[in-house]
Chains A and B, each alone.
Chain A
């Protein structure tokens, strides 16, 4: 007769902390915690000691002080009597602006180059390979400086537009390329529905969102119709109408007009000025990151197995439809995750603005404000907090998108 007995209870010995797998991980974590705590105490101690000898403290009050420097490229009102925090906000918006623009154009460059690199045209595919290799193997800082130099050295000065025998002329009398930047016409509303131009643009946005919803409704209706009868009704005219008609009517009511840039004194006045540093940074970031995106696109398209293309062809789809309906949707799943990290790279690389004098947050908060106030620790901490938040936000948004397109496994 046998009975089940508990294993003999052994008394706890100190050596079990190392030798027994039940306790060992606890020992290691305790040791790691101790080491971490000790090093934090040590570093913090050094920090306090150093700050005391330097007569400094950690205090974010300086953000309310007058900044006293000008920023030419800005999205919100700012003057040199505004506070450092306002200057940081201007910089923050500038970072967002250049990162947003560069993400769009880099995707365009990248997709075009990636698809053309797979073209069966030998010359074009070699040319694209050359573009990719050249841009991937040379530091982005050098590209930014080169493009900025081109901007300032090749473009005419504003005074070249002056007088009867001007050496430069405006494109369509509306766009002026100068070495200080590009001036383009600014749209505005003569008799807007709301007081203030910003509110009027909000109205435009609301109408656009409405059109978008209507267009979606039409698509849903068309799909339902197709499933019912097998024939998809023509949606293009309706969708176009839903987009264009309200837009045109609204523009007529509100009186859309353009303010053209004009040479006054030594410089152009009016219109929208896109500063040289912004253009250099924007173009350099998009063409540099475009080379990386091209490689991601190429890898994504090549990763779709040949059987898929052949199966689609066997079903009788035309080459264009094979690409659009079969290859690209599958390639997109592979392309999106690396694309997210390229967008993150653009955002982080936009901090190189400081090399060409574009007033992004690194140049305002981490550059001029830091140098003027000497508050190194506070400025760098704020700067890191901003970039960390931006990175986490971008990856969160793109992960949601990624989850919506990825293979649904059941």
Chain B
């Protein structure tokens, strides 16, 4: 049978026909353009409109940037160089760069100090942000706040050392007594810290800052982008523990504790940050002891920390609510007490869920630090709107300055949000 049929048929294919390439309009760039840009009439119109918008933006922006002048010393000189062409006057950036970064009162020869503190910030933040790094680096993270304080404010080194000793004493007390009872360890630690700070504060001689190794710089001399960074980093790191405490308090069974936390959180979330900054600038000093002088920077830090703590508390509450009830019950059935259950079972999971939200709050807070310019602190926006645009050389250079501020903020905020997305992928241990 088979033989017959093979003989009777004139031609039998004994192999596959070689594959021919798809038609030209179904491959490569042409197919991509057809599928992604001109798949329908509507899409085609949208594409053309988008192209027009892009062309308009680029045709305005590119010559302006390309013809930019970087080396003159005033706006009128820029105009002379440009001779009527479109072009930016970037000279204001090259001339006032240090002022934009550090403010206009920070001693010029001491710029290396905040710069060093900024570089060390990455070293200190790295072990917190990336879990793969050796845990021993956390020791430097613990040391960093005191080091950065000393570098930026200068003055006697005794002050940060006393502060550090207080924290060390608190950590020691907590390690020793916290195992037996969390409450005793916790309150003992606070008491120990305050004892060391008060005694240490008395021991620092008056005028210790006069001939210190690093020249003392008062808080009101801080400014520029440095001030935004400092406010952002300080307030976020202070408000995370406070936010955890508030979130746990809001979940608590004790009505009094619960209502204190609810009222605090809802009050702070209901008012704009600007009113809280008004409180810091004109009202808060009435609540401190009459003879004390708490400088504006510290008052602003207090208010912004309260502000972001309320938002972080809500994010963490979401994380706590997302945990299945079985986790709480399992912890109870193991015989763990409240502090142990929270520390070992609940918080590690709840915080993992809330990390993206916390990063969102952190980005929002960092952007909101520009609001301090309204209460006449000279942060980046305050520097631009105040001393630089008011100077005779540079009045009228809006675009270059505001553009530079926008670029600086964009780099930092976009970087943080990219990190958050990486972290989310990294922490996604469930299989989808």
A interface list, Cβ under 8 A from B: 18, 25, 28-29, 32-33, 36, 43, 46-47, 49-51, 53, 116, 119-124, 127, 133-134, 136-142, 145-146, 149, 153, 348-349, 351-352, 354-355, 362, 366, 370, 376-377, 380, 383-384, 387-388, 391-392
B residues less than 8 Å from A51 (CB atoms): 286
CB <8 Å contact, A122 and B409: no
Number of interface residues of B (CB under 8 A): 54
Known A-B contacts A36-B260, A141-B370; the reply to A387 vs B271 at CB < 8 A is yes
Q: How far is the CB of A26 from chain B (nearest CB, A)?
A: 8
30 contacts between A and B (CB under 8 A): A25-B253, A25-B254, A29-B256, A46-B287, A46-B288, A46-B289, A47-B286, A51-B286, A120-B43, A121-B46, A121-B47, A122-B37, A123-B47, A127-B50, A136-B413, A137-B410, A137-B413, A138-B367, A140-B367, A141-B381, A142-B409, A146-B402, A348-B272, A351-B274, A355-B373, A366-B274, A366-B275, A380-B283, A388-B271, A391-B270
B residues less than 8 Å from A29 (CB atoms): 254-257
B residues less than 8 Å from A49 (CB atoms): 290
CB <8 Å contact, B278 and A383: yes
B267 at the interface (CB under 8 A from A): yes
In the complex, chain B residues 142-196 whose Cβ is within 8 Å of any chain A Cβ: 183
A residues less than 8 Å from B285 (CB atoms): 50
- B36's nearest neighbour on chain A, judged by CB, is A122
CB <8 Å contact, B368 and A139: yes
Q: How far is the CB of A374 from chain B (nearest CB, A)?
A: 9
Q: Which of B36, B43, B406 contacts A146 (CB 8 A)?
A: B406
B363 at the interface (CB under 8 A from A): yes
Known A-B contacts A25-B254, A348-B272, A380-B278; the reply to A142 vs B286 at CB < 8 A is no
Known A-B contacts A121-B36, A123-B37, A391-B269; the reply to A141 vs B417 at CB < 8 A is no
A139 to B279 Cα, complex, angstroms: 22
Q: Which of A43, A121, A362 contacts B272 (CB 8 A)?
A: A362
Q: Which of B254, B275, B288, B413 contacts A383 (CB 8 A)?
A: B275
B residues less than 8 Å from A351 (CB atoms): 272, 274-275
Q: How far is the CB of A157 from chain B (nearest CB, A)?
A: 15
- B43's nearest neighbour on chain A, judged by CB, is A121
A28 to B374 Cα, complex, angstroms: 41
Q: A137-B409, A362-B272 are in contact. List 20 more A-B contacts (CB 8 A).
A: A25-B253, A29-B256, A33-B256, A50-B286, A51-B286, A121-B47, A123-B36, A124-B47, A124-B50, A136-B413, A137-B410, A138-B409, A140-B367, A145-B385, A149-B399, A153-B398, A370-B282, A380-B283, A383-B271, A388-B270
Known A-B contacts A120-B43, A123-B51; the reply to A139 vs B370 at CB < 8 A is yes
A146 to B402 Cα, complex, angstroms: 7
Q: Which of A32, A139, A377 contacts B283 (CB 8 A)?
A: A377
A residues less than 8 Å from B398 (CB atoms): 146, 149, 153
A140 to B274 Cα, complex, angstroms: 13
CB <8 Å contact, A32 and B39: no
CB <8 Å contact, A384 and B256: no
Q: Which of B54, B368, B374 contacts A355 (CB 8 A)?
A: B374
Q: How far is the CB of A140 from chain B (nearest CB, A)?
A: 7
A138 to B410 Cα, complex, angstroms: 5
A residues less than 8 Å from B417 (CB atoms): 136-137
CB <8 Å contact, A47 and B37: no
A residues less than 8 Å from B289 (CB atoms): 46
A387 to B399 Cα, complex, angstroms: 33
A residues less than 8 Å from B405 (CB atoms): 142
B328 at the interface (CB under 8 A from A): no
A383 to B180 Cα, complex, angstroms: 48
B229 at the interface (CB under 8 A from A): no
| B271, B273, B374, B381: residue with the most chain A Cβ atoms closer than 10 Å | B271
Q: How far is the CB of A13 from chain B (nearest CB, A)?
A: 17
Q: Which of A43, A352, A380, A388 contacts B279 (CB 8 A)?
A: A380
A410 to B381 Cα, complex, angstroms: 54
A165 to B398 Cα, complex, angstroms: 30
Known A-B contacts A123-B37, A376-B283; the reply to A141 vs B278 at CB < 8 A is no
- A353's nearest neighbour on chain B, judged by CB, is B274
CB <8 Å contact, A387 and B275: yes
CB <8 Å contact, B385 and A46: no
A272 to B364 Cα, complex, angstroms: 36
- A26's nearest neighbour on chain B, judged by CB, is B254
- B187's nearest neighbour on chain A, judged by CB, is A31
A residues less than 8 Å from B133 (CB atoms): none
CB <8 Å contact, A380 and B409: no
A137 to B273 Cα, complex, angstroms: 18
Closest 7 CB pairs of A and B: A348-B272, A376-B282, A137-B413, A122-B36, A139-B367, A391-B270, A351-B272
Q: Mark B228-245, 1 if CB is under 8 A from A, else 0.
A: 000000000000000000
- A153's nearest neighbour on chain B, judged by CB, is B398
A209 to B367 Cα, complex, angstroms: 43
A residues less than 8 Å from B183 (CB atoms): 18
CB <8 Å contact, B363 and A137: yes
B residues less than 8 Å from A121 (CB atoms): 36-37, 39, 43, 46-47, 50
CB <8 Å contact, B271 and A119: no
CB <8 Å contact, A142 and B402: yes
A300 to B414 Cα, complex, angstroms: 23
Q: Which of B270, B278, B406, B414 contacts A133 (CB 8 A)?
A: B414
B53 at the interface (CB under 8 A from A): yes
A51 to B283 Cα, complex, angstroms: 11
B296 at the interface (CB under 8 A from A): no
A392 to B269 Cα, complex, angstroms: 10
CB <8 Å contact, B274 and A138: no
